[in-house]
Chain A
Amino acid sequence: MNTFKIGGVHPEPNKLTADRKIETLALPTQAVFPLSQHIGAPAVPCVQKGDTVRVGTRIAEPGGFMSASIHSSVSGQVAKIDSVIDASGLRKPAIFIDVEGDEWEPSIDRSDKLVLQCNRSRDEIIECIKNAGIVGMGGACFPTHVKLCPPKECTIDTLIINAVECEPYLTADHRLMLEHPDEIIIGIKIILKVLGIDRAVIGVESNKPDAISLLQSKTSMVSGIEVMPLKMKYPQGGEKQLIEAVTGRQVPPPPALPANVGCVVQNVGTVFAIYEAVMKNKPLFERIVTVTGKGLKNPCNLKVRMGTPVSQLIEYAGGMPEGTGKLISGGPMMGRPLLDETAPVVKGTSGVLMIPEADAIRREERNCIRCAKCVQACPMGLEPYLLATASERSDWECAEENWIMSCIECGCCQSTCPSRRPLLDWVRLAKNRVGGIIRARNAKK
């Protein structure tokens, strides 16, 4: 079985919700839509206080090429345009909508019927994806229409579907594959049409044998789509790692893109969203969220309208367990800590994870004993111990010389460190500073 070559770790999978069917969560009383749910420029609101909106109404337009529009997931009245603290920990402008009823935009096809035939042209599809506000659903939230228009000088030959879900605990993609395999395959065909190629590989880790066999049986009749089981290893779901695992090609260091080695990677959740947007005219306002954690009464996979406060999800799952030490949006390796339960579900919320206090506290930091476990674990071939020390000393030059910008912030180093050093905290700081230095340098040129 294939996997990536350098580094990697094996965290406990803890997939508590792997066999829980996707349930639909009730509507919230007020939905909150932060204006920057994606990488790039924040969206610009196109509604005003007091406006009436329906489910699927666009409430914010892209603020540039690298941006995405936002749609209301509920019907009701715009209460205010204020600010909310989202998963980044920052207070960001957001649109608040008071929910009244559940009235959908008439253009949306709400039936369960599978639509097989797509008559739209390539440009129409891209426009449709852009209008639907689709972003990468794996967590990075990169606007999908940008990713589907690779630079002209790159020839794309393979579409890779990221169905790895290597983050412990999360099962949203797994359940999606089991419950909507046909939609995913049609979605893949749409993307293939957009890219003008005929080869797609679905990368799935071997801990999801049911999804692998189901997709294999569905794709056996379809030419060009292959399901590739991959050996379990974190961070296989990292774009670069997945490309290497599937094709054996290594993406050069930044600023190179996956397109430089002829690949486009899309998350399986994104593929589903593309299907819904193109075939059902349904913009991105719903997503599947895994609500999980040890000690949680009823861990589950939920279909949630965006903007629903996280507290409602936790309540549905049986309430926050006693002694929860950390509330995380996303998985335990790369997720972001939530400051409190009022944060809304956004496009990138793949999971809500509660960690008991005993596991949440970091132990006291000790001297680096130079065991080299971080070097062995790093999937990018970096030396985290050195980068962290350089960062502690504010030695940005040393950090840059040692390839700090290649770091994908997967957290392998810190999760293996026996001295419990906050390696990634320091590396992230240095990355931030070195990034600033590089931008300043480029601006001067």
Chain B
Amino acid sequence: MAQKLYITTSPHIHCGDTIERNMRTVIWALAPAFIASVIYFGLGAVIVTATSVASCLFFEWFITRVFLKRPSTLADGSAVITGILLAFNLPSNIPLYMIVMGALVAIGIGKMVFGGLGNNPFNPALVGRVFLLISFPAKMTSWPVPHQMVAYTDAVTGATPLNLIGQIAGGNSAAMDQLPSLKDLFLGNIGGCIGEVSALALLIGLLILLWRKVITWHIPVTILATVAVLTGIMWMINPVLYVNPLYHLCAGGLMLGAIFMATDYVTSPMTATGMVWYGIGIGFLTVVIRYFGSYPEGMSFAILIMNAVTPLINNWCKPKRFGEAVK
């Protein structure tokens, strides 16, 4: 026999899925949001995203080759996604050195110290983002207003819808008039982080992810539903202080977080029931932080807190076993 036969137990075929394929799909699903960000923030968005992706790739390569002495894992695409997501969570006028620092923390502390992709307990991009948010609160919470196509660090900043919502809840009813229209909010014609402004583009991304079966509906839908229900209840109690839940759904990082950050494979629960509880937890924490915390946006912290709870959720929420009910 010329050819040596391979010996393995069944199954002998594979559906062809790979880590790379999943990661590529996520990158495609992020494309609409990137296009939207370029339309609204122009040059700044391009510079920040490119720097973030490049530095994430560099640090991943550097750490795997120099410290871990392993073959490089750049090809799996996870560093690219971390880079894009980190950039999408930054304002478009943030200085370059901050981006590089954020990328180092995201890849180094967020991922590689735990052993690389698959072992990190927290979403790496969010670790980088929160590090920057705590280290440079002023820079991280002043967002440029849209349509400054060639501006970068010199862009004019202004209040975001979430700032206004916070002010309204604080009793400043005058801020109500400054709120952008729901249409602008949905399309993304507002101030904010690069990737989070256009709810429309993010929803297109969600459809791509669901269509390619990269994620299931459980996490994004439960997060959005929980936020809608909680803010809806508050709105019904007092519409003067609390705004319409649609504003909450479209404003800030909720969509980006619910669709792309909370659904990160590594840090989200494994079972459907677990995912539902995880989603409810994130939604609840987000609303609590938005209304009662000192930060206007609570999505990042909510996801990180629930990331920490994920192992417990995995322990508690077991899938429904076949034949269990009959027992």
Contact = CB atoms under 8 A, between A and B. Distances in A.
Q: Do A and B touch directly, given a CB cutoff of 8 Å in the complex?
A: yes
Interface of A: 6, 9, 11-12, 89, 168, 240, 244, 249-253, 256, 261, 322-328, 330, 332-340, 353, 355, 357, 359-363, 366-373, 375-376, 378-383, 385-386, 402-403, 406, 409, 411-412, 414-420, 422, 424-425, 428
A324 B271 contact: no
Interface in B6-22: 6-15, 17-19, 21-22
B147 to A, nearest CB: 39
Given A325-B6, A362-B8, 9 more contacts: A253-B322, A261-B326, A326-B5, A337-B12, A360-B6, A369-B22, A373-B17, A406-B322, A428-B9
16 contacts: A252-B326, A253-B321, A323-B3, A325-B6, A326-B8, A330-B10, A337-B5, A337-B7, A355-B13, A359-B13, A360-B12, A383-B318, A412-B11, A415-B11, A416-B15, A428-B9
Contacts of A419: 19, 118
B277 to A, nearest CB: 14
B267 to A, nearest CB: 8
Nearest to B327: A252
B interface, by DSSP: helix, strand, loop or mixed?
Answer: loop
B12 A367 contact: no
B18 A363 contact: yes
B239 interface: no
A interface, by DSSP: helix, strand, loop or mixed?
Answer: loop
Contact of A256 (B13, B18, B270, B323): B323
Nearest to B4: A325
B322 A383 contact: no
B225 to A, nearest CB: 20
Interface string B288-327: 0000000000000000000000000000001111111111
Interface residues of B, number: 43
B265 interface: yes
B14 to A, nearest CB: 5
B158 to A, nearest CB: 40
B240 to A, nearest CB: 43
A425 B7 contact: no
B117 interface: yes
Contacts of B269: 372
B176 interface: no
Contacts, number: 170
Contacts of B265: 369-372
A362 B12 CA distance: 9
A370 B270 contact: yes
A367 B118 contact: yes
Contacts of A330: 10
Contacts of A416: 15, 17
A380 B272 CA distance: 15
Contacts of B17: 373, 416-418
Nearest to A256: B323
B15 A415 contact: yes
B266 interface: yes
A260 to B, nearest CB: 8
A297 to B, nearest CB: 17
B323 A406 contact: yes
A335 B10 contact: yes
Contacts of B10: 330, 332-336, 409, 411, 424
Contact of B322 (A240, A261, A340, A369): A240
A328 B118 CA distance: 33
B245 interface: no
Given A328-B12, A337-B6, A380 B322 contact: yes
Contacts of B163: none
A411 B60 CA distance: 34
A270 to B, nearest CB: 21
Contacts of A338: 5
A266 to B, nearest CB: 21
B323 A366 contact: no
B32 interface: no
A240 B323 contact: yes
Nearest to B7: A337
Contacts of B323: 240, 250-253, 256, 406
B246 to A, nearest CB: 31
B214 to A, nearest CB: 8
Contact of B321 (A323, A368, A380, A418): A380
Tell which of B12, B76, B117 has the most Cβ of chain A within 10 Å: B12
Q: Would you list the 7 A-B pairs with minimal beta carbon distance, nearest first?
A: A411-B11, A367-B118, A381-B321, A371-B265, A332-B13, A418-B17, A380-B322
B167 interface: no
A58 to B, nearest CB: 32
A343 to B, nearest CB: 12
Interface in B167-209: none
